[in-house]
A and B are shown apart, each in its own frame.
Chain A
Amino acid sequence: MKLKRALLLAIVAIAAVLAGCEPLTVLNPKGPQAEVQANDIMMSIWLMSGIVIVVFAMLAYMLIKFRSSKQGKDYEPPHIEGNKWVEAVCVGIPVLIVAYLSFVSVQSNYKVEATPPGYEDKEPLVVYASSSNWKWHFSYPEEDIETVNYLYIPTDRALEFKLYSFGPITSFWIPQLGGQKYAMADMVTTLHLAADHPGEFMGRNANFSGKGFAENTFDVTAMSPVEFEEWVDEVHQTADPITEDKFEELLEPGHLGKMTFTGTHLDFSPAPEGHEHHQSNDEDSEENHENHDEHEGHSDHSSH
């Protein structure tokens, strides 16, 4: 019985932590996408706790009721093949639970892959987030700004991150704003996020990418639109423009502090966008060709 008590204690402890004296990062959402995910997570935790409790209770009952010390010496356990109805229940209830979870899961999938509700009226802010060993480069084409290892975002607009990598596969993750997505060298992936309130958040690369992986983080600051505009203006007044040589230097493997530039590296080293290199149709090979040439151009930079 020691085990059951320990287990119960553990579950209570976890539940207490999850229920929130000090909310865990993922369960403390600051944006609509993270909120969808946090709700799904809490819902599934409660549902699964129910299943766990049923299994534990059944096990405890069986172990207490049917141990040999409680049975008569001559007791012969019966031969029971199985029962249609019992088995129907054992299949039916899990099927219902899974069906419900699937329903929720599919809905949430479409939610997190779209512009968050309530933000549709304004054009989303597009930020190109590219990783190199072991840094993050954030390009704001609209504002004509580029930063390294930190991200400023306004709270009134949806955010559309265009992710790609100058090296190994990385994963762009700001837990309090929403889940992660991979950044890869040969294509651009899109992550839809938004921040509801001003604040500072942790962001990092979540996918192992070699030696400097642990420190491959960035800071995110969400601020009011006015402050964001001020910051943009300030950058345009104070920062140096980014040049091809400078960018080459930044791509060298290693760690860097926060940096700010005017202009973006997209001008001379475009993202591998519209890069449908994975067709199985040979008819499209012409088009492929061009894309690859273009792609060649920038991936050369990444090969050190």
Chain B
Amino acid sequence: MKIDHSLPLEYSTDENRLKILGFWIFLGAEVMLFATLFASYFILSGGTGDGPSGAEIFEITPVLIETLVLLTSSFTIGLMVHAMRLGRQKAMMGFFIATIVLGAIFLGVEIYEFVHYVHVGAGLQTSAFSAILLTTLGTHGAHVTFGLFWGTCILIQVKKYGLTPRTTNKSFIFSLYWHFLDVVWIFIFSFVYLKGMM
């Protein structure tokens, strides 16, 4: 395997560069996935049937906590990449762990939020609105959940093998994924919650 030392480790081999571009293309597909969910959400958001509307069930506090936690985790994963490029494995792992912990907190609050919705009578089967709300949030939440497992796997590999072209590549790609989830959340925050409570 040819290693190009003029580039950061995560870009240093052909295979790594392929993987990074491939992941960007995957993110392009994810844009469409969430766009479809948003389109469906906007169309169905009036379809509340007998159930409550968004304005009736949204609460600002958990949403704000989720937003701040996720924004911070996006910051820490950015620092993770920065530390990785400086070759500081300890700091890198620290930021990585911080990100995963923040992700877990986010997920915890989201689960609380879901329980709350079901509690106030907006379950999956209540109305088209509640279903698309939970599906949109749930798809993002499932991505976060998957990210937690995936990130943990990578973290173990970083611990085991150190900062190699392979592990740095995986960590970098994970950071792309995590930032992307943050972007999606910003759109959910703006166009599901804030618009709903406006």
Give CA–CA (A280, B47) in the complex, Å. 9
**Beta-carbon contact of A293 and B46 below 8 Å:** no
A277 to chain B: which residues have CB within 8 Å?
46-47
Task: Tell me which residues from 272 to 302 in chain A have a Cβ below 8 Å from any Cβ of chain B.
Answer: 276-282, 284-285, 288-289, 292-293, 296
User: How far, in whole Å, are A277 and B44 apart by their CA atoms in the complex?
Assistant: 8
A280 touches B48 (CB 8 A): no
Q: Mark B29-56, 1 if CB is under 8 A from A, else 0.
A: 0000000000000111111111001110
Whole-angstrom distance between the Cβ of A117 and the nearest chain B Cβ? 35
Q: Which of B45, B50, B55 contacts A280 (CB 8 A)?
A: B45
B50 is contacted by which of A276, A279, A281, A296 (Cβ under 8 Å)?
A296
Check B46 against A281 for contact (C-beta < 8 Å). yes
Give chain A residues whose Cβ lies under 8 Å from the Cβ of B55: 282, 285
How far is the CB of A3 from the nearest CB of chain B, in Å?
42
Residues in B whose Cβ lies below 8 Å from that of A282: 45-46, 53-55, 196
Contact A292–B48 (Cβ < 8 Å): yes
On whether the beta carbons of B48 and A288 are closer than 8 Å, the reply is yes
What number of residue pairs across chains A and B have CB atoms under 8 A from each other? 37
Question: Which of the four size classes fits the interface of chain A?
Answer: 10 to 19
By a CB distance below 8 angstroms, the chain A residues around B53 are 282, 285, 288
* Contact code string B44-74 (vs A, CB < 8 Å = 1, else 0): 1111111001110000000000000000000
Q: CA–CA, A295 to B44, complex, Å?
A: 16
Provide the bound-state CA to CA distance between A285 and B50, in Å. 11
Residues of chain A within 8 A (CB-CB) of B196 are 282
Contact indicator B50/A288 (Cβ below 8 Å): no
B132 to chain A, nearest CB (A): 12
Q: How far is the CA of A278 from the CA of B48 in the complex (A)?
A: 10
Set of chain B residues within 8 Å of A285, measured between Cβ atoms:
46, 48, 53, 55
Distance between Cα atoms of A288 and B127 in the complex (Å): 12
Give the complex CA separation of A288 and B42 in angstroms.
15
CB distance from B53 to the nearest CB of A (A): 4
Q: Which residue of B lies closest to A276 (CB)?
A: B46
Residues of B within 8 A of A293 (CB): 50
Which chain A residue lies CB-closest to B54?
Answer: A282
Nearest Cβ on chain B to A299's Cβ, whole angstroms: 11
What's the minimum C-beta distance from A236 to chain B, rounded to whole angstroms? 40
User: Whole-angstrom distance between the alpha carbons of A249 and B162 in the complex?
Assistant: 75
In angstroms, Cα B53 to Cα A289, docked, is 9
* CB < 8 Å neighbour of A289 from B44, B45, B48, B54: B48
A128 and B49 CA atoms in complex are apart in Å by 25
B residues near A280, Cβ cutoff 8 Å: 42-43, 45-46
C-alpha gap A289/B45 in the complex (Å): 12
Distance in Å from the Cβ of B145 to the closest Cβ of chain A? 29
Complex Cα spacing A293 to B127, Å: 12
Instruction: Establish whether residues B43 and A278, one from each chain, have CB atoms under 8 Å apart when the complex forms.
Output: yes
For B42, list chain A residues within 8 Å (CB).
Answer: 280
10 extra interface residue pairs, beta carbon distance < 8 Å, beyond A280-B46, A293-B50: A278-B43, A278-B44, A278-B46, A279-B46, A280-B42, A281-B46, A282-B54, A285-B48, A288-B48, A292-B49
**Can you list 23 A-B pairs, Cβ within 8 angstroms, ordered by A?**
A277-B47, A278-B44, A278-B47, A280-B42, A280-B43, A280-B45, A280-B46, A282-B46, A282-B54, A282-B55, A282-B196, A284-B46, A285-B46, A285-B48, A285-B53, A288-B46, A288-B47, A288-B48, A289-B48, A292-B49, A292-B50, A296-B49, A296-B50
Closest 3 CB pairs of A and B: A285-B53, A279-B46, A280-B42
